[in-house]
Amino acid sequence: MNSPAPEDTVHPIPPRTLTVAYTGGEERRGPITMGQANMIRCILRDDPTHINIHDVWPVPGGTSEEAVTDALRTLAVRHEGLRTTFPHPPGTAPVDQVVAAEGTFTVTVLDHTELPGEPAEYAESVARAARAGRFALEREFPVRITLLTVAGRPAYLALAFSHAVADGSAMAILREEFTELLAGKELPDLASLPPVDLAAVEASPAGLRKSEASLRYWERIIRTGPQEMFAEPRGRRPGTDEEARQLTLRSRRGGRAL
């Protein structure tokens, strides 16, 4: 008599998708910021696994699925960047951004009988895998969200972000606010300008003067600074035509330490 096969605890039960609706935001439209323009050039050109970014948010024990989606909904309404798309004809780069007043986003739920031996590393791998595939800037919600659960109980959120709307600092703020919302805390008013307002500041006379001053500064640095850092004569790697870069460090204190 054959023994029953052990239950696979690593691979999740077939995923399901939650559609989360949000409302209560303000519909806005305006030019993109200089930072957005620079990042969008990279998004349209570079490998998405390199340019997209990801994060993992642990979910406190005892948190319900509804509480997780409610917190995500609150963040979407609170932060205009999460409701922003960048319409543009094919073959061109966006010049405007559109902030939706309402809409939906999806959460993929991966339920497990138990998580692998290193749950945080597993969640990291799920988030990293979600970076694959270019975000459709003109229509896609800029965060890909996967909720990892154990027997229906939320354990981790694995997220991949479009770099057009978030960077490392923004992800850290969102993670902190998500945790505070789950703890029942009230979030303070936002202190930073949303992108539409920042773009208006950049286009103002004061903003243009600041940009021109910055360009003059960097032009001077580039013209007068060394054209190559740590410049040293270059040799060849033995038996090849490949250049071998060399670096000489001179340090009396380092020499004494050695």
Q: Quick one: pLDDT at residue 252?
A: 73
How many C-beta neighbours within 10 Å does residue 35 have? 14
Residue 81, burial from CB neighbour count under 10 angstroms (0-12, 13-18, 19+) = buried
pTM flag (> 0.85): no
How does pLDDT run across 58-93, given as a tens digit for each residue? 999 999 999 999 999 999 999 999 999 999 999 899
| AA identity, residue 102 | E
Element (H, E) at 17: strand 16-22
Q: Tell me the mean pLDDT in the region 102-120.
A: 94
Question: In this structure, which CATH number among 3.40.50.10490, 3.40.50.300, 3.30.559.10, 3.40.50.720 belongs to the domain 16-192?
Answer: 3.30.559.10
pLDDT of 207:
92
Residue 32 to residue 49: CA distance in whole angstroms = 23
Q: Where are the domains of the chain?
A: 16-192
The secondary structure of 44-100 as a DSSP string is: HHS-HHHHSEEEEEE--TT--HHHHHHHHHHHHHH-GGGGEE----TTS---EEEE-
pLDDT digits (tens, 9 = 90+) for 238-252: 667 676 666 666 777
160 vs 1 pLDDT, higher one: 160
Q: What is the pLDDT of residue 171?
A: 97
